[in-house]
């Protein structure tokens, strides 16, 4: 009999030091084990108190995954008023961090290849043109948030910004790659210099993950 599942902070698919020297070991540890853990604990607590949330997380599997997050984030009207903002923020915090960590790779390709690369060239003129636009978006996020490469239902790529723990799903856009520009993502190494963090993030951006997401937008949006 299916029961509602819990979110679990799965281990990173690489070591905490894997992104050195671009993203430091202490930042990776705190970001995953403390910041992400807090969102997971909070959402599990909200689910335990809320039957309508429990009904969104029925699964045969022991732990929740992207599918349950998508269900929660795509149905805000089904969440009681008292919990809606907290659910949005904490479920968004999990989704965005899972996506961010999957989008890092210790031995990445320097740039995208295949159909994603072709679409980047068509829409941004070159990889350098894309990189310039994405960097501008990441630096322009006011306060805490993310810059994303996304794709819409017509397969048009878009660079967007989201504030706090808002997600592209709320705009019916499928994420391809994201950079977390909350200060906790870079402050220990890069201090207040987000402009130094962005190129370091590019050095470990996981273009294989981005291509997979480009090929499977249905995983994220209807």
User: What kind and span of H or E run contains 148?
Assistant: strand 145-151
Cα 2 to chain center, whole Å?
A: 28
The least CB distance from residue 93 to Fe ion, in Å, is 8
The least CB distance from residue 162 to Fe ion, in Å, is 12
User: Binding residue per annotation — 184?
Assistant: yes
Q: Is 24 in the site for Fe ion (CB under 5 A)?
A: no
Buried b (16+ CB within 10 A) or exposed e, 150-166: bbeeeeebebbebeebb
- Residues numbered 141 to 200 that lie near Fe ion (CB under 5 A) are 180, 182, 185
Alpha carbon distance 160, 147 (integer Å)? 6
Closer residue to Fe ion (CB): 37 or 54:
37
Alpha carbon distance 197, 185 (integer Å)? 9
Q: Is 134 in the site for Fe ion (CB under 5 A)?
A: no
User: Binding residue per annotation — 41?
Assistant: no
User: Binding residue per annotation — 216?
Assistant: no
The least CB distance from residue 90 to Fe ion, in Å, is 13
User: Binding residue per annotation — 180?
Assistant: yes
Q: Cα separations (Å) of 82 from 23, 55, 87?
A: 38, 17, 10
Alpha carbon distance 167, 147 (integer Å)? 10
Number of residues that bind Fe ion (CB under 5 A): 3
The least CB distance from residue 142 to Fe ion, in Å, is 16
Binding site for Fe ion (CB under 5 A): 180, 182, 185
Give the residue ranges of the annotated binding site for Mn(2+): 31, 97, 180, 184
């Amino acid at each position: 009999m299916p029961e509602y599942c819990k979110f679990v902070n799965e281990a990173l698919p690489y070591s905490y030091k894997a992104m050195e020297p671009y993203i430091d070991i202490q930042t990776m540890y705190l970001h995953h084990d403390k910041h992400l853990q807090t969102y997971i604990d909070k959402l599990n607590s909200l689910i335990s108190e809320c039957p309508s949330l429990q009904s969104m997380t029925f699964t045969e599997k022991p732990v929740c995954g992207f599918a349950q997050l998508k269900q929660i984030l795509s149905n805000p009207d089904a969440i009681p008023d008292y919990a809606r903002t907290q659910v949005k923020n904490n479920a968004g915090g999990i989704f965005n961090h899972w996506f961010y960590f999957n989008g890092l790779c210790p031995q990445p390709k320097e740039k995208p290849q295949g159909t994603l690369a072709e679409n980047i060239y068509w829409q941004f003129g070159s990889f350098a043109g894309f990189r310039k636009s994405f960097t501008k978006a990441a630096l322009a996020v006011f306060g805490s948030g993310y810059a994303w490469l996304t794709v819409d239902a017509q397969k048009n790529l878009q660079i967007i910004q989201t504030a706090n723990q808002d997600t592209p799903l709320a705009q019916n856009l499928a994420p391809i790659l994201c950079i977390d520009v909350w200060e906790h993502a870079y402050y220990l190494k890069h201090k207040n210099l987000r402009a130094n963090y962005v190129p370091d993030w590019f050095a470990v951006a996981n273009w294989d993950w981005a291509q997979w997401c480009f090929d499977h937008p249905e995983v994220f949006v209807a």
